[in-house]
Amino acid sequence: MSLLRYTPTGANALQQQINQLFDQFDQDLFGRNEELGGGMFAPPMDVKEDAEAYTVSLEVPGVPRDKIDITLQDGALVIRGTREQNVEKTEGQYRRVERSYGNFSRSLSLPRAVDGTKVSADLTDGVLTVRLPKAEEAKPRQISIGATHNGNTNEQNGN
């Protein structure tokens, strides 16, 4: 029994050609020794809204608390930070780097007023969670239906 080399066909061949094109583009642009870090990236962010608050969750694994800056101004939340790469002097070279390093900045315009005095942030297991309580005037209110009067003037005059 002899081994046959697998030759991709159709969509697989096209995907392989596209991958090779991007690999070549990266090598031409960055050279064989890619510069790592120093770039910008955007960590994934989730935004949840309920009746009481907005909750923003941002994935920032490897970013220490002191490298994160959170500001709230004019109805916009801005989160900035830096993920630094630990450069080790070892033999060999990287063949692939998929993790992002450098500075990041994410901003979010909030559709309703937020009570800035009650904003809180927590960093747990690489996830930054910012809770932005809504201002009292922005919270939904239940309106009860009261008794209404018929617009008839005879009933209003007691006739």
Instruction: State pLDDT tens for residues 20-63.
Output: 776 666 555 444 433 434 467 889 999 999 989 999 999 999 99
Alpha helices in the chain (DSSP H): 11-30, 153-156
Q: Is 133 left (phi over 0), alpha (psi -120 to 50) or beta?
A: beta
- pTM higher than 0.85, yes or no? no
User: Is 152 strand, coil or helix?
Assistant: coil
Domains in the chain, CATH or no CATH each: 37-87+100-138 (2.60.40.790)
Instruction: State pLDDT tens for residues 71-103.
Output: 998 889 999 999 988 777 778 887 887 888 889
